[in-house]
Chains A and B, each alone.
Chain A
Amino acid sequence: MGKVIGSLVSTIKHECYNNKKIMIVSPSDKDGNKIGNSIIAIDTVRAGVGDIVLVASEGKTATEILGFKEREPLRSVIIGIVDKVDLN
């Protein structure tokens, strides 16, 4: 889980990143506190800056979600936007 804190503009890149929205996500814990360093993730759910999102950081998952025929050098993908976290 993390918070989208910005986006990234890149012209020269590996072709698997073409036409993809690249976001910067700051990992956070269940209370929204920042944990660890920011990562770069491909957006698939139209997330915006400030959104709390779910990020999958695994190559096979990224391949499946983005519909690539074979594995590509791409790992982190935003796969959902968090509406609410319920804690007991």
Chain B
Amino acid sequence: MKLAKVTGKIWATIKDKKLEGIKLYIIQPMDEKLNAIGNEVVALDTVGSLENDIVYWVGGGEATLAIKGRQVPSDVSIVGLVDRVDLRE
């Protein structure tokens, strides 16, 4: 799992049936100091995040399990909202 910031929203009318009713966001992966790393990716939202929220996400096979009771065709899924990051170094 990694950190990211929600930077935009995706609207897609025609999509796979399994994605119906699910929000898609553009997220920018970040390091622990909230500096951007790498390119932005499209992520599926499961926790009701909003733009500019800091979130954490899971990629790969686990992303398809983000919604209970159904498999979703997803590569990256947001699984939690970050309230606070505590760094002690």
Contact = CB atoms under 8 A, between A and B. Distances in A.
Nearest to B89: A5
B62 A10 contact: no
B14 interface: no
Contacts of A59: 60-62, 65
Contact of B79 (A5, A6, A17): A17
B2 A13 contact: no
Interface residues of B, number: 32
A6 B89 contact: yes
Contacts of A49: 88-89
Interface residues of A, number: 29
A14 to B, nearest CB: 4
B7 interface: no
Contact of B63 (A13, A39, A73, A76): A73
A71 B82 CA distance: 23
A24 B32 contact: yes
Given A14-B47, A14-B79, A40-B56, A73 B84 contact: no
A59 B79 CA distance: 14
B42 interface: no
Given A6-B32, A14-B46, A17-B80, A73 B62 contact: yes
Contacts of B59: 75
A38 interface: yes
Contact of B81 (A12, A39, A75): A12
A88 to B, nearest CB: 30
Interface of B: 1-3, 29, 31-32, 37, 46-48, 56, 58-63, 65-66, 68, 77, 79-89
